[in-house]
Amino acid sequence: MKESLNFYYDGVYSVDMNIYNVNSSSGLFEEFFLPTREIHEQKSFGRDKPYFIETTRKPLSFNLRLYIDKDVIEEKMQVIKRWLFQDYYKPLIFSYNPNKIYYAMIHDNSTLTHNGIDSGYVDINVRCDSPYVYTPEYFEENVLNKTKKVVKEIAVDESNFSEGLMNGLGLNLEGNLELNEILIWGQIPENTKWGEIV
């Protein structure tokens, strides 16, 4: 995630806004490994060990440092602010791994550190709608049967019925199997047992 230079948020690519995701620390990237969770327990008098009740997972949250190119003038800065400051969770996708979708919103404090000549960094806090990362939907229209099973056709005639009973089935004039009669639940007498239904 943080190793991605570009990202996609709410339908807009960061490169189109002259913004890049950067790392200005020691060269190593620090990301979340597992979602944060809280353990809920109940203490009781005279007992050192608390009673476990449940755990709750917190939504993912992380910090991003965005480099703003010097070509960004003041009016484009306002467009960038409106783009990033959304009122609801929007899809956030990083270029390094486009198969992970974060539904995210900018929250808490954001700070701009600049050199006075229209270039610098913006530190933002991102919060997701859940403790999970999503994947895109994939639709397969023409799915081929990949099994190599050979279907064997069996000719049905009166001799096939000699090995057992096939109640309600018979051969029509073309030699195909068909139902002789259709059982309707309303026609079964009231005191009929399961073994008597044929």
Reported as a single tens digit per residue, the pLDDT across 70-91 is 666 667 888 888 888 889 999 9
Tell me, yes or no, whether 153 lies in a domain: no
State mean pLDDT over 133-141: 80
In a domain, 174, yes or no: no
- Selection from 23-37, 98-112, 166-180 with the highest mean pLDDT: 98-112
pTM: 0.60
Residue 114 covered by a domain: yes
* Within-domain flag for 119: yes
The burial of 25, by beta-carbon neighbours within 10 Å (0-12 exposed, 13-18 middle, 19 or more buried), is given as: exposed
Q: Tell me whether residue 93 is in a domain.
A: yes
Q: Using one digit for the tens of pLDDT, what is the confidence trace for 178-187?
A: 766 666 666 6
In angstroms, the CA 151 to CA 34 distance is 48
Domain that holds residue 86: 7-41+52-128
Q: What's the domain count of the chain?
A: 1
Q: Is residue 1 part of a domain?
A: no
Alpha carbon of 167 to those of 84, 160, 189, 194, 196: distances in Å? 70, 13, 19, 15, 12
pLDDT bracket for residue 190 (50, 70, 90): confident
User: Is there a domain that residue 156 lies in?
Assistant: no
CATH of the domain at 85: 2.40.30.200
The distance of Cα 85 from the centroid of its chain, to the nearest Å, equals 24
> Does residue 17 sit within a domain?
yes
